[in-house]
Amino acid sequence: MRIGALIGFLALSICLGAGGTPASAENLTVEVTGQAAESGLGRATTRLRALEAALIEAAIMGGADINGYSATSNGILVSDRLILRPALRILDYSILSEGESGGFYRVQLRAVVGDPPVAIVDSCARRSELDIMTYPLRLKIDPMTPAWVETLGPELRDRIDAAIGARPSVSLTQSNNTGAMPGRSAQVGLDMDYAALTSGRTVSQRAPAGTLTYRADIALRMQGRNSLLLVLESRLIDTDTNAIRAHSLFEQAVRLSANLPLRALNVLAARDRTTITEKLLVGIDAHIESMIDTYACRPLEGTLALSGDRLTLPFGSKDGLTRHHLAFSEGEATPYILFEIDRLADHSAVLRPIDRNRSAQSLAGMQVRFMEQAQ
Residue 256 has pLDDT above 60, yes or no: yes
Pairing of strands 28-37, 104-114: antiparallel
Torsion angle (degrees, nearest 10) of CA 277, 280, 284, 286:
120
- Is the pTM value of this prediction over 0.85? no
Q: Looking at the 3D structure of the chain, how many domains does it have?
A: 3
Does 182 lie in the same domain as 52?
A: no
Question: The CATH number of the domain where 359 resides is what?
Answer: 2.40.10.410
Domain-located, residue 120: no
Does 134 lie in the same domain as 267?
A: yes
Domain-located, residue 256: yes
Which domain range does residue 310 map to?
A: 300-370
Q: Which residue has the higher pLDDT, 267 or 361?
A: 361
Average pLDDT over residues 185-203: 41
Beta bridge partners of 31: 110
Question: The CATH number of the domain where 90 resides is what?
Answer: 3.30.1660.40
Question: The CATH number of the domain where 212 resides is what?
Answer: 3.40.50
Domain-located, residue 125: no
Does 273 lie in the same domain as 158?
A: yes
Does 244 lie in the same domain as 170?
A: yes
Compute how many other C-beta atoms are within 10 angstroms of the C-beta atom of residue 2.
Answer: 13
State how far the Cα of 111 lies from the Cα of 90, in Å rounded to an integer. 7
Average pLDDT over residues 326-346: 80
Domain-located, residue 165: yes
Contact 325, 203 (CB under 8 A): no
Give DSSP secondary structure letters for 152-173.
-HHHHHHHHHHHHHTSTTEEEE
Confidence band, pLDDT 50/70/90 cuts, at residue 194:
very low
State how far the Cα of 102 lies from the Cα of 337, in Å rounded to an integer. 34
Does 261 lie in the same domain as 144?
A: yes
pLDDT tens digit sequence for 98-151: 888 888 899 998 888 877 666 655 556 556 788 999 999 999 999 888 888 888
Domain-located, residue 363: yes
Residue 25 has pLDDT above 70, yes or no: no
- Using the CB atoms, write b or e for 63-78: b if 16+ within 10 Å: bbebeeeeeeeeeeee
Does 262 lie in the same domain as 144?
A: yes
Does 60 lie in the same domain as 139?
A: no
pLDDT tens digit sequence for 56-103: 787 777 665 545 545 555 555 545 554 445 545 777 788 888 888 888
Domain-located, residue 119: no
- The mean predicted confidence, pLDDT, of the chain is 74
Distances (CA, A) of 351 to 72, 104, 210, 292: 56, 35, 19, 27
State how far the Cα of 136 lies from the Cα of 41, in Å rounded to an integer. 77
Does 265 lie in the same domain as 141?
A: yes
